[in-house]
Amino acid sequence: MVGQFISPAGYADMLSRGRAQAMPLLALAPETLRTDYNRKPFLVGHALGEHPLFQLDPLFALCRRLPPEQILYRVGKIPGDTPLDSSYDDYKQGLTLEDVLQHFEERQAYICINNPERDATYQPLIDGLLGEIAAQTDPLDPIMSWYSSYIFISARDSVTPYHMDREMNFLLQIRGQKTVYLWDQDDDDIMNSEQKDRLLSRIGGRPAYQPSFEAKALAFDLRPGTGVHHPFIAPHRVHTGTALSVSLALTFRTRQSDMWTDAHRFNARMRGLGLRPAPVGRHAWLDRAKCSVARAGQRLHRMLGATQHDAA
Ligand SMILES: [Fe+2]
């Protein structure tokens, strides 16, 4: 799903508002951030539990107000190893969104609201939360370049199947309970460097779950007022408890994660030529060089495309 690019001026504005926040809604421990941010998952705190915009009526009104393509839903029980991308089509049972909203608990429904920040009512709150994150992460990982948020509402016992995203995340539990299983993104047995190159180049599907991974899962039990940080591309699977659950995911990319992404794309190109490039993340200078070449290649590609278009 398309998120929102952040201009340098927009980031400066977000950062200064986040730093000036008199009543912060997020509690990120500075020492944990310093040691674990983008390396290991960790718990965070927040004060969104009683926020009026996260009660069910305003959330269902948001579902009805946003363009239909921003609301994904599925119903019933689904297996934990279902491919995430097709799960919404495969487990919809032909029901309409209105039916799902009216019989939410009865249908054992799950709704993902994509990009609530595009709604004027929700935008100030979500931008403010992003600003709070930026104020804390900027010294470690400066310049957010993109963000996208999601609200998940689950009647009960839902599973978000094993998958990995191409960004960082703070997942905040607002109502009900969730268990989030996360895997180490740097463990070659979970995801090798070729799989990461393909993931970030969007070649083929996402790396698949194997039963042997289960023993390596890190489990985080989330309650209202807690959340968990997902490092860049960390694989995860999420189970909700037996009661209605509401959570918010704040996902974002930074100058650093964009650089990793382009270095992975460079590697995928090299693999296409039959070469075996060094894994991304091993040498920062090499990753930067790969990123520069990949971006120069993209610019050249665009220029040639434009030239051909002009000549046609
Ligand atoms: Fe995810």
pLDDT by 10s per residue, the chain, length 312: 589 999 999 999 999 999 999 999 999 999 999 999 999 999 999 999 989 999 999 999 999 999 999 999 999 888 777 777 777 877 788 889 999 999 999 989 999 999 999 999 999 999 999 999 999 999 999 999 999 999 999 999 888 889 999 999 999 999 999 999 999 999 999 999 999 999 999 999 899 999 999 999 999 999 999 999 999 999 999 999 899 999 999 999 999 999 999 999 999 999 999 999 999 998 999 999 999 999 998 888 888 876 665 655
How many angstroms is it from 309 CA to the middle of ligand 1?
Answer: 38
Q: Are residues 72 and 129 in the same domain?
A: yes
How many angstroms is it from 87 CA to the middle of ligand 1?
Answer: 13
How many angstroms is it from 24 CA to the middle of ligand 1?
Answer: 25
Rg of the chain over Cα atoms, rounded to whole angstroms, equals 20
What gap in Å lies between CA 192 and CA 18, rounded to an integer? 36
How many angstroms is it from 207 CA to the middle of ligand 1?
Answer: 13
Residue 309, phi then psi, degrees to nearest 5: -65, -40
Which residue's entry shows tokens 């599973």? Answer: 159
How many angstroms is it from 165 CA to the middle of ligand 1?
Answer: 5
How many angstroms is it from 293 CA to the middle of ligand 1?
Answer: 30
How many angstroms is it from 302 CA to the middle of ligand 1?
Answer: 31
How many angstroms is it from 312 CA to the middle of ligand 1?
Answer: 43
How many angstroms is it from 298 CA to the middle of ligand 1?
Answer: 28
Q: Are residues 150 and 269 in the same domain?
A: no
pLDDT at 78: 80
3-state DSSP call for residue 43? strand
Question: Looking at 233, 255, 277, which one is the last position of a domain?
Answer: 255
Residue 145, phi then psi, degrees to nearest 5: -110, -15
pLDDT at 309: 58
How many angstroms is it from 44 CA to the middle of ligand 1?
Answer: 17
Q: Which helix (H) or strand (E) holds 238?
A: strand 236-240
* CA 234 to chain CA mean position, Å: 10
| Domain coverage including residue 301 | 260-311
Q: Are residues 171 and 218 in the same domain?
A: yes
How many angstroms is it from 52 CA to the middle of ligand 1?
Answer: 25
Question: Looking at 207, 240, 255, which one is the last position of a domain?
Answer: 255
pLDDT at 83: 76
Q: Are residues 34 and 112 in the same domain?
A: yes
What is the separation, in whole angstroms, between the first and last Cα of the chain?
A: 33
Number of domains the chain contains: 2
How many angstroms is it from 163 CA to the middle of ligand 1?
Answer: 6
CATH label of the domain that carries residue 152: 2.60.120.650
Q: Are residues 285 and 196 in the same domain?
A: no
How many angstroms is it from 238 CA to the middle of ligand 1?
Answer: 8
How many angstroms is it from 22 CA to the middle of ligand 1?
Answer: 30
Q: Are residues 240 and 264 in the same domain?
A: no
8 A C-beta contact, residue 14 and residue 132: no
How many angstroms is it from 233 CA to the middle of ligand 1?
Answer: 9
How many angstroms is it from 236 CA to the middle of ligand 1?
Answer: 7
Q: Are residues 144 and 9 in the same domain?
A: yes
Q: Are residues 24 and 138 in the same domain?
A: yes
Cβ within 8 Å of residue 267, ≥6 positions away:
193, 197, 277, 279, 280, 290
Question: Looking at 255, 274, 293, which one is the last position of a domain?
Answer: 255
- Closest Cα to residue 146, out of 301, 286, 311, 10? 10
Q: Are residues 203 and 299 in the same domain?
A: no
pLDDT at 95: 87
Q: Which helix (H) or strand (E) holds 15?
A: helix 8-19
How many angstroms is it from 228 CA to the middle of ligand 1?
Answer: 12
Q: Are residues 277 and 223 in the same domain?
A: no
Q: Are residues 198 and 283 in the same domain?
A: no
How many angstroms is it from 249 CA to the middle of ligand 1?
Answer: 8
How many angstroms is it from 164 CA to the middle of ligand 1?
Answer: 6
Q: Are residues 35 and 170 in the same domain?
A: yes
pLDDT at 222: 98
